[in-house]
Structure 1
Amino acid sequence: MTGKPGYFLTRTPMIAAAVLGVWAFSATAQTTTATDTDTDTGAAQVDVAPDSITPAVLKQADILLWKQPGPTARLQARGVLEIAAADGNPEAQLILGRHLLHGWILERNVARGIALLEQAVAAGHAGAQVELGQAVLSGNGMDADPERAQALLEQAVSQGNRDAMRVLGKQLVGGWDLTRDVERGRALLDKAIAEGDEKARVARGELMLYGIGLEQDRARALELFEAAAENGNGEGLAIYGEDLMWSLRDWSRAEAMLTRAAELGATEAWVTLAHGAMYGYLGGGRRSRAKFDGFAEKAHAAGEEGIAALEATRNMWGINMRASGPETIARLRKDADAGNAAAARFLIGLLRDGNGLNLRRRPEDAAEALETYRDLFDEKTVAQLEITLAAAKAWVPKAWAEVAEAYAARPDLKSIWFGKELYKANENVAFYILQQRFREEGLYRGPINGYATRSTLRATNIACRTLDKTAACYDSVMRPDVIGALLAQ
């Protein structure tokens, strides 16, 4: 589920206007029609004095947008933000810039979103420093720039911003996008925890659970997760419960913990429970699979888009139902047509790769689906999917080299998910890229040919030991999760 605030606000435009307390549908505010909107901003021309727009009004405008109201109320709320942002209000610049950068509710406009965030940063707004810092770190709408990202986060930390402490602290301990500095990162996380940031408590617990940067300590991790839960944050319980479930340590305890997490608001745990139920991890066999529908229903009620992919998977393999490839595709298209991005992404991957049973590879159909549903994705996801589609169509070493070159040109796209998708689309392309890197690192001296030769697998095995989670290395390095993680380095 996306990280949308769980605010309550009526959806009707008339009451929304009253709540915002700034405009009314009268002579002082124009009625929203096709001629009443600014064509550059898509906002209603609201007749409001900038000095009457208080922090409370900005907060309510943001709340209203998160509730995804009808067109009239949405344009009115944006109109207030536009007025305040144009008047130099950094809080309005942050709110509007964030919405435009991500395109959650308003139509995405990356360039303008970044420009607004830059204005708020120039005014010294700590929240904008965190928002822009994370965008720069991940390369969201721009080239990734870890050095600038850290500088922005440090600025926010110097103003006492807890979100900055958490984000920077976790990155410094993990060492993913920033140079690892465990002592500094741990200190930042501890400071955020001391100041009441439960998300920082969860972040520190997760690092300890998996032994990432910090010494592995499952008992201490659980203590941190339970403390966060006592203060209303179930995210840590969701992390621990999922690990407990997949490791087959104690399925009943895992189920109880994930249920608690979901009831505390970490509703992605319903999807995790459905996933475990489907594959027999909650009591085994028929007993476990019988629980799927109940968890799926709760996931749907919570707005968790990921459940659509699980339902399609069950349909595809015939888990407690008749297996049907065509029905699976039809199910995913229906969900994607309804605006479910997770379903659209799963559909594209399935059309691209097939499943070796009742669905054949159809890269051209996958490309067509990407064009159909591209508005559901951000620019980064579209670029990632386009490269995987190019990989799926590459059959000879020359074509593998071309895809590898396109991959190297976009380091901002790297992620474990992207690496896994690239490997599933074309194993040869994935190994071609890894062979290039292993040669640069002195791990491999063979030809760059994209084949999983003995020397290639030996280098892959050595590189695998540098990952945060190395257990899979002792199974087989020719796994999507292993290759994906190596490609993400």
Structure 2
Amino acid sequence: MKTLFNRRLAAVALACCLSLPLPATVVAADADATLQKAWTAFNIGHYKETLRLVQPLASNGNPQAQVILGRCYESGLGVEQNMETAAQWYLLAAEQNLAEAQQLVAYAYQNGVGLPKDGDKAVAWMQRAADAGSPEACYALSQYYSKGQFVERDQKKAFDLALKAAQGGYGQAMLFVGACYAYGVGTAEDAGQSQQWYDRARAAGLDPDSHVFNKVKEYSMEE
């Protein structure tokens, strides 16, 4: 009788243990593994499988999964294209301070795609992404100031932001900085610095001969 009682007690204890929530590190590891599988499926064009993997994670608040799901909706991959739905997933991830999502939200506000066009919100979200360390966001901000788009035109600030992006390894920013040094836009002319940044842009696969500025130092980067 005592043996039977002990077995029942052990079974109850095991059931209690199995019902306990998993440690956060285990849950995070499982999420990371699922995301890796999702990216693999995405990159080889298995979009239905991508959706199957990321939808539960996205619904549970995983920001990386929310971005992947948003990209599927944005491009109509495995699901009917819906820019508004894509933007909402990006917003959910952006509010969790994921820089990639913050950039995507900024672009959505910038272009009025999926969200109403709003320059102030575009700048604010791009600034948040830049503050989070995104070189791409720094470069995008530099172009706002370079062109006077949504903000007052400020060549010095444009150069400083582009330089930060270039130092962070963003190729387009390297090209821009090289041109700024070549023509003295936002900084003093410096042929040596210009050549160094053009060389780095070339190493990144960009063509320094595609001029950022024309001969009279007017901007020619029209969209």
Same fold (TM over 0.5): yes
Partner of 1:97: 70
Indicate how the Cα distance of structure 1 residues 62 and 179 shifts in structure 2: closer, same or farther if over 3 A, else same.
Answer: farther
Partner of 1:116: 89
Partners in 2 of 1:172 and 1:105 — Cα distance?
38
2:103 is paired with a residue whose SS is helix
Partner of 1:147: 120
User: 1:143 Cα deviation (Å)?
Assistant: 2.6
Partners in 2 of 1:198 and 1:86 — Cα distance?
35
User: 1:65 Cα deviation (Å)?
Assistant: 1.6
Query: Which of 212, 234, 251 is the matching residue for 2:205?
Result: 234
Partners in 2 of 1:225 and 1:59 — Cα distance?
35
Query: Which of 55, 79, 104 is the matching residue for 2:32?
Result: 55
Partners in 1 of 2:202 and 2:58 — Cα distance?
37
After superposition, where does 1:386-397 map in structure 2 within 5 Å?
none
User: 1:97 Cα deviation (Å)?
Assistant: 1.2
CA contact (8 A) 2:103 2:125 kept: yes
CA contact (8 A) 1:65 1:105 kept: no
2:51 is paired with a residue whose SS is helix
**Deviations for 1:450-483, whole angstroms, at most 9, x for unmatched residues?**
xxxxxxxxxxxxxxx9x634xxxxxxxxxxxxxx
After superposition, where does 1:418-437 map in structure 2 within 5 Å?
none
After superposition, where does 1:127-146 map in structure 2 within 5 Å?
127-146=100-119
User: 1:82 Cα deviation (Å)?
Assistant: 0.8
Code of the aligned partner of 1:229 = R
Partners in 1 of 2:78 and 2:196 — Cα distance?
37
Asked if 1:193 corresponds to 2:170, the answer is no
User: 1:161 Cα deviation (Å)?
Assistant: 2.2
Partner of 1:468: 219
Indicate how the Cα distance of structure 1 residues 187 and 212 shifts in structure 2: closer, same or farther if over 3 A, else same.
Answer: closer
CA contact (8 A) 2:90 2:105 kept: yes
Q: TM-score, normalised by structure 2?
A: 0.70
CA contact (8 A) 2:87 2:115 kept: no
After superposition, where does 1:399-414 map in structure 2 within 5 Å?
none
User: 1:210 Cα deviation (Å)?
Assistant: 7.5
Partners in 2 of 1:60 and 1:204 — Cα distance?
38
RMSD in angstroms over aligned alpha carbons? 3.3
User: 1:61 Cα deviation (Å)?
Assistant: 1.7
CA contact (8 A) 1:162 1:195 kept: yes
Code of the aligned partner of 1:61 = A
**Higher RCO, 1 vs 2 (CA within 8 Å, ≥6 residues apart):** 2
Partner of 2:19: none
User: 1:115 Cα deviation (Å)?
Assistant: 0.9
2:133 is paired with a residue whose SS is coil
Asked if 1:164 corresponds to 2:137, the answer is yes
1:54 is paired with a residue whose SS is helix
Count of aligned positions? 193
Indicate how the Cα distance of structure 1 residues 145 and 209 shifts in structure 2: closer, same or farther if over 3 A, else same.
Answer: farther
After superposition, where does 1:304-319 map in structure 2 within 5 Å?
none
Partner of 2:7: none
CA contact (8 A) 2:156 2:187 kept: no
Partner of 2:14: none
Partners in 2 of 1:205 and 1:105 — Cα distance?
41
Indicate how the Cα distance of structure 1 residues 115 and 208 shifts in structure 2: closer, same or farther if over 3 A, else same.
Answer: same
Query: Which of 215, 219, 224 is the matching residue for 2:197?
Result: 224
User: 1:225 Cα deviation (Å)?
Assistant: 2.3
User: 1:167 Cα deviation (Å)?
Assistant: 1.5
Code of the aligned partner of 1:173 = S
CA contact (8 A) 1:174 1:213 kept: no
Partners in 1 of 2:192 and 2:111 — Cα distance?
32
Partner of 2:9: none
Structure 2: where are the runs of 5+ without partners?
A: 1-26
CA contact (8 A) 2:94 2:102 kept: yes
Indicate how the Cα distance of structure 1 residues 211 and 83 shifts in structure 2: closer, same or farther if over 3 A, else same.
Answer: farther
Partners in 2 of 1:200 and 1:119 — Cα distance?
28
Indicate how the Cα distance of structure 1 residues 175 and 122 shifts in structure 2: closer, same or farther if over 3 A, else same.
Answer: same
User: 1:51 Cα deviation (Å)?
Assistant: 5.7
Partner of 1:183: 156
Indicate how the Cα distance of structure 1 residues 88 and 185 shifts in structure 2: closer, same or farther if over 3 A, else same.
Answer: same
Asked if 1:85 corresponds to 2:38, the answer is no
CA contact (8 A) 2:123 2:150 kept: no
Partners in 2 of 1:119 and 1:168 — Cα distance?
22
Partners in 1 of 2:114 and 2:181 — Cα distance?
32
Indicate how the Cα distance of structure 1 residues 54 and 234 shifts in structure 2: closer, same or farther if over 3 A, else same.
Answer: same
